Amino acid sequence: MARVDWHIKGPELATCNCNWGCPCQFNSLPSHGNCRAAVAMRIDQGHFGAIPLDGLTWVGLFAWPGPIHEGHGEAQVIVDERASQPQREALLTILSGQESEPGATAFSVFASMIETVYDPLFEPITFEIDIGAGTGRFSVPGVVDATGEPIRNPVTGEPHRATVSLPKGFEFLEAEFGSSTVSAQGLIALDWANRHAHLALIDIGPRGPVR
C-alpha cells in the first residue's frame, strides 16, 4: 500500500502515571493497573508530502482503563494554533497512525488501542526541553501543565540519571528517563507527581524510527 511520504524530527517529553521507568518499556504491566499519559513534541524538521511541519508543536492526552494492550483507550490531541489548515490535517493524520505501517510507530500502535477520540484542540502550546539536562515542560492554558526533571536520590537529593536504549523501539531508540508532575483538566483529567517521564529525540516516518 502506497503511503504519503512524511517525516518528523524533534525533541519529545512523554509522561505517564507509572512509577519511574515505566513497566511498559520492559513488556510489563502498568504500575497502578491503568495507563494515563501526557506527551508533547516540537517538530524541528518535518513534512507531510509537500506540506512543511517545521516549528510546530503537538500535545497528546491519553487514558486507558487497564494496560494499553487491552484497549478501550481515550485520546485528545492539541495542535499548535499557528498551524495552517493543511498542517493541522497533516498532523492529525500522522498522529492517528493512518499513514504508518501497521505496528511500526507509536502512533499506529496506540491508535489501534483507542476507542474514543475527542475533538482536537488548536491552542497555544508552551514547550521547553533540555534532553541533556533531563528537564522539560509543556503547557496548554486551561488544559494541561507537565514538567519533567531528573529522578532524585531519596537520601541525598542528587540527580539520578538513567538512559535507556531500545534498539527495536517504535517510539524512540534512546531516551533519558526521569520524573514527571502533571495536571490536566477537561475530558481527560490527569493528576500526579513523581511518576515516569522520558525525554527523547524523535526521528520517525511511516516505517518507524529512523535507524
Q: What is the pLDDT of residue 1?
A: 57
Across the chain, mean pLDDT equals 96
pLDDT band at 3 (very low <50, low <70, confident <90, very high): confident
Q: Which residues contact 36 (CB under 8 A, 6 or more apart)?
A: 16, 17, 62, 63, 64, 188, 190, 192
- Mode of pairing for the β-strands spanning 190-205 and 151-152: unpaired
Q: What is the pLDDT of residue 6?
A: 97
Is the pLDDT at 2 greater than 70? The verdict is no
What mean pLDDT do residues 196-204 have? 98
**DSSP H/E element including 5:** none
| Alpha carbon distance 207, 192 (integer Å) | 33
| Alpha carbon distance 140, 68 (integer Å) | 25
Q: In this predicted model, what pLDDT tens digit does every residue of 58-77 receive, in sequence order?
A: 999 999 999 999 999 999 99
| Alpha carbon distance 76, 99 (integer Å) | 18
Q: In this predicted model, what pLDDT tens digit does every residue of 144-197 receive, in sequence order?
A: 999 999 999 999 999 999 999 999 999 999 999 999 999 999 899 999 999 999
| Alpha carbon distance 161, 178 (integer Å) | 7
